[in-house]
Amino acid sequence: MTLEWLTRAMQELGQPAFRGRQVFSWLHGRGAVSFDEMTDLSKALREQLEERYYINTLRVARRQVSRLDGTVKYLWELMDGNCIESVLMQYHHGNTVCISSQVGCRMGCAFCASTVGGKVRDLRPSELIDQVLFTQRDSGKPISNIVLMGIGEPMDNLDNVLRFLALVNHRDGLDIGMRHISLSTCGLIPGIRRLAELKLQLTLSVSLHAPDNETRSRIMPVNRAYDVEQLFAACHEYFRQTGRRISFEYAMIDGVNDHDWQADLIAEKLRGMPGHVNMIPLNDVRESPLKPSRRIRQFQQRLESHGVTATVRRSLGGDIDASCGQLRRKAMEDGGEKQL
Ligand code: SAH
């Protein structure tokens, strides 16, 4: 619930408007899980709230801690029994949580574990926020950065994602700055355009994975609806409107998207825009025949020879199924998920 909504709800109960702000900061700032915790409200009011409303919570269904780097992977059970994942990563610049935006995904990327089994439903704003709040609560680590790079396609659930962004960004909530938030999309162009109009200062990541239609359509079905030309046009427009550099994700797949000519094509398409290519060593997904590339350094050098900045993503949590959808898949196979 937004501050405006809570304020109105309090007034309807005959309370002064400022109670809305009090409840808002309990819910969104401190992550209260029961009305009883809200000790600056009268007992009578807490009981009234208890009767009328509920507070969304998550239950830890599994927690895996990497012995390599301390990365924590959470499998959360939602109130309806569905499961989603979040990952806590500890960097020197702060603690980052990677959150899911949907239960499952319908985008169908060939290399991604999240999409096996399709989409079950969208996550609600409360379920998005709770991934941050409960990760913080469970780990005892203050979260300073959020990446929307978990299970699901954020732009396929954009209304709820935008509400979530306003809530975590709110002064009386977690107060996480937009510049500390990244949103990743497989390339849903209406969403990119809508985000551009809002001129938020977050970092947009676009899952490119191939600069030519033939390859991209083969590994990312979304490309059949919004092709490479349309995608780059939307990206250029996004940069013009927001002034923000876009980060292009590129999972390096052996013999599929790791040829020099593809690096050349990326450079060509990026001309006129300060793009950044984030190369991801492909995580082996059991369901997929695609294998990790052995040409990561060469591809990087080729991009750099064109003046394109390219980094190789450091891999965290390699021992704990930390990449998209892997843990949920495993739990589904083990019968850990009631809905499926
Ligand atoms: N649906 C959004 C959010 C997912 S973000 C999107 O597509 O951008 C997760 C990132 O990890 C995406 O760039 C996705 O393409 C990438 N990814 C998925 N499976 C992967 C794998 N097996 N290896 C490396 N990267 C992968």
Query: In terms of residue numbers, what domain contains 110?
Result: 59-339
Q: Give yes or no for residue 184 CB within 6 A of ligand 1.
A: yes
* 37-46, 187-196, 286-295: least confident range: 286-295
**Beta pairing class for 203-207 and 247-252:** parallel
Mean pLDDT of the chain: 93
Q: Are residues 32 and 75 in the same domain?
A: no
Q: Give yes or no for residue 323 CB within 6 A of ligand 1.
A: yes
- Spatial contact of 46 and 38, defined as CB atoms under 8 Å apart: yes
Q: Give yes or no for residue 109 CB within 6 A of ligand 1.
A: yes
- Spatial contact of 299 and 255, defined as CB atoms under 8 Å apart: no
Whether residue 321 is predicted with pLDDT greater than 80 in this model: the reply is: no
Q: Are residues 174 and 138 in the same domain?
A: yes
Whether residue 310 is predicted with pLDDT greater than 70 in this model: the reply is: yes
Task: Return the HEC string of 300-318.
Answer: HHHHHHCCCEEEECCCCCC
Alpha-carbon dihedral of residues 336, 327, 109, 168, nearest 10 degrees? 100
Q: Are residues 166 and 23 in the same domain?
A: no
Active-site position among 77, 85, 249, 337:
85
Q: Are residues 134 and 31 in the same domain?
A: no
* Mean pLDDT in residue range 204-214: 98
* 15-29, 137-151, 154-168, 281-295: least confident range: 281-295
Q: Are residues 48 and 192 in the same domain?
A: no
Look at the chain and report how many structural domains it folds into.
2
pLDDT score recorded for residue 217: 98
Whether residue 167 is predicted with pLDDT greater than 60 in this model: the reply is: yes
* Mean pLDDT in residue range 38-64: 97
85 catalytic? Reply is yes
pTM: 0.94
Q: How confident is the model at residue 323 (pLDDT cuts 50, 70, 90)?
A: low
Whether residue 324 is predicted with pLDDT greater than 70 in this model: the reply is: no
Q: Is 82 left (phi over 0), alpha (psi -120 to 50) or beta?
A: beta
Nearest to 75 by CA among 124, 148, 131, 154: 131
pLDDT score recorded for residue 182: 98
Q: Count CA atoms within 13 Å of residue 260 on its CB side.
A: 5
**pLDDT above 90: percentage of residues in the chain:** 86
Q: Are residues 32 and 177 in the same domain?
A: no
- Spatial contact of 278 and 247, defined as CB atoms under 8 Å apart: yes
Cα–chain center distance at 252: 20
Q: How confident is the model at residue 338 (pLDDT cuts 50, 70, 90)?
A: very low
Q: Are residues 112 and 250 in the same domain?
A: yes
Q: What is the CATH number of the domain that holds 29?
A: 1.10.150.530
Q: Are residues 66 and 46 in the same domain?
A: no
**pLDDT above 70: percentage of residues in the chain:** 96
pLDDT score recorded for residue 336: 44
Q: What is the CATH number of the domain that holds 156?
A: 3.20.20.70
* Sign of CA pseudo-dihedral 137, 143, 62, 127: positive
Per residue in 259-272, pLDDT (tens digit) is 999 999 999 999 99
Measured in residues, the chain has a length of: 340
pLDDT score recorded for residue 116: 87
Collapsed DSSP state (helix, strand, coil) of residue 74: strand
Per residue in 241-253, pLDDT (tens digit) is 999 999 999 999 9
* Mean pLDDT in residue range 150-168: 98
Among 86, 100, 123, 184, residue to substitute to test ligand 1 (most atoms within 8 Å of Cβ): 184
Q: Are residues 267 and 189 in the same domain?
A: yes
Tokens of 288: 């997929």
Tokens of 6: 């809570």
- Ligand 1 centroid – CA 112 distance (Å): 6
Q: Are residues 191 and 324 in the same domain?
A: yes
Q: Tell the residue nearest (CA) to atom 15 of ligand 1.
A: 207
- Spatial contact of 58 and 42, defined as CB atoms under 8 Å apart: no
Q: Are residues 87 and 224 in the same domain?
A: yes
- Spatial contact of 83 and 336, defined as CB atoms under 8 Å apart: yes
Among 99, 192, 207, residue to substitute to test ligand 1 (most atoms within 8 Å of Cβ): 207
* Mean pLDDT in residue range 96-121: 95
Q: Are residues 241 and 322 in the same domain?
A: yes
Tokens of 52: 């009328």
105 catalytic? Reply is no
> Which residue, of 36, 52, 68, is where some domain finishes?
52
Q: How confident is the model at residue 292 (pLDDT cuts 50, 70, 90)?
A: very high
Among 86, 97, 103, 111, residue to substitute to test ligand 1 (most atoms within 8 Å of Cβ): 111
